[in-house]
Chains A and B, each alone.
Chain A
Amino acid sequence: MDLYNLGRVDWIASQSLYHALALLGREGLIICYPDSPYVCLGLHDDLDHEIDQDFCQSQGIPLLRRETGGGVVYLDDRQIFYQLVLRRDNPLLPLRRTRFYQKFLNPVRAVCRDLGLTAEIREPADLMVRGRKCSGNACGDIGECVAYVGNLLLEFDFQTMSRVLRLPHKTFRRFLRQAMRSHMTTLADWCGPEVAHSRIAGELIRNFAWELGEMVPRIVDRELEEAARQVGERLTSRPWLEIPGRRPAARRVKIAEGTYLAELVVSPEERYLVLKQDETEIKIRIEPFEEVAVDLNAYQGGKSDGSQGVFDS
């Protein structure tokens, strides 16, 4: 397996290189992190529905739409990316593509284990430490290949993540920030902020080699560089970013697998914030023109009543 251990790369390259590998029909594993923050949309996310573009523009946070699944993510240099590109006819790939996540995530679990953390897979593709998400993963068919991509959070900027999303009001935003903090975790939470990219990269490579076989170090050659330049232009172009996507009737943000925050509007005067975690639900009424301060830890939650369909689609 070709290995591109790239360290810090230009933010566009942190997405465009694996697309380029796939479009060239070349297999490989890329380990990298971006040199500056950006917002990355999933293939079917709707830009207008999802993103506070005025905020992103005012903060100089650029946008990119990837060709893999999952939702909007805020990415920066306190995360490390692992991106595996396999040809669709590679015998490693099972008929059921989501089953490959187990194999893909084993090396990441091993890295956590080396740091003294027990990480469990929450199907299909989240990695959880003590029930909190520390790694998000996605996959998609690109050209004749399948790309499996993920990130491990060294630290996470919950404040900015909650700011880049287009949300109905400040209460939703504040509640989201709290909910993310409660349901997500980072390596810094357990190991302190001193965990270096190079250490994690080294552990990832060692464990991917164990799972996938010998890794052959490569540099980004001219063919790959040119393909990445072209695909990078496309992934950041306005027409590509503005392709319409899913627009659920209710505003809903996925925090981790099985955990969502949504607004339920019964009438203009009767609105609720609903935090759903599997079958458990916390429902809080938002008073008109009044912001609520909520301590999520103070709520036990109750059995879900379905909240009139806000989580159905």
Chain B
Amino acid sequence: MAVKEYLIPENLYYDQNDFWIKIEANSVLIGITEEGQKNTGDILYLELAPAGTVVRRGEKIGSIESGKWVGNLTAPLSGAVAESNPAVTRNPRLVNRDAYGEGWMVRLIMDNPDELGLLMGAREYEAWLDEQLKSEEGIG
């Protein structure tokens, strides 16, 4: 499925901060979507919470800087960081190059699986993106 030119894999969850969430055995992998990385532009710097960090949904799990924008990365789910991807902190452009693969950011042990119900599936995310893009076109 694609919104305009962007890829939205079916087997992932999404949130409104353009994170994708992939459920694995007893943890989730988190990264930025293709749409998210395009919106951000060339990523120059990434800082991710180290393993062991406990976060609640909506709390900071990292910081990101692109050409001329800096912002916080906020956890889409509550839990404990099991691992952050050293490859993307060494080379943040991996996120631009392979958002759903080598560009993953954090592996999280979920604290409350019920929170998955607050996320979007691929079709919901597509619809949400469409809505955002339409409102942006309206702004001009």
Contact = CB atoms under 8 A, between A and B. Distances in A.
Contacts of B44: 44, 246, 313
B39 interface: yes
B136 A98 contact: no
A138 B44 CA distance: 14
Interface centre among B38, B45, B65, B139 (most CB of A within 10 A): B65
A95 B68 contact: no
Given A91-B139, A97-B39, A124-B41, A44 B68 contact: no
- Classify chain B's interface size: 20 to 34
A223 B39 CA distance: 35
A155 interface: no
Interface residues of A, number: 27
Interface string A194-228: 00000000000000000000000000000000000
Contacts, number: 68
A301 B111 CA distance: 57
A101 B47 CA distance: 25
Contacts of B101: none
Interface in B38-69: 38-39, 41, 44-45, 47, 63, 65-69
Given A67-B70, A91-B139, A313-B91, 4 more contacts: A42-B70, A44-B47, A98-B68, A141-B70
Q: Would you list the 4 A-B pairs with minimal beta carbon distance, nearest first?
A: A141-B71, A69-B70, A125-B68, A140-B70
6 contacts: A91-B135, A97-B69, A125-B67, A125-B68, A138-B69, A140-B71
Interface of B: 38-39, 41, 44-45, 47, 63, 65-72, 91, 93, 132-133, 135-136, 139
Interface of A: 42-44, 67-70, 91-92, 94-99, 101, 124-125, 137-141, 245-246, 257, 313
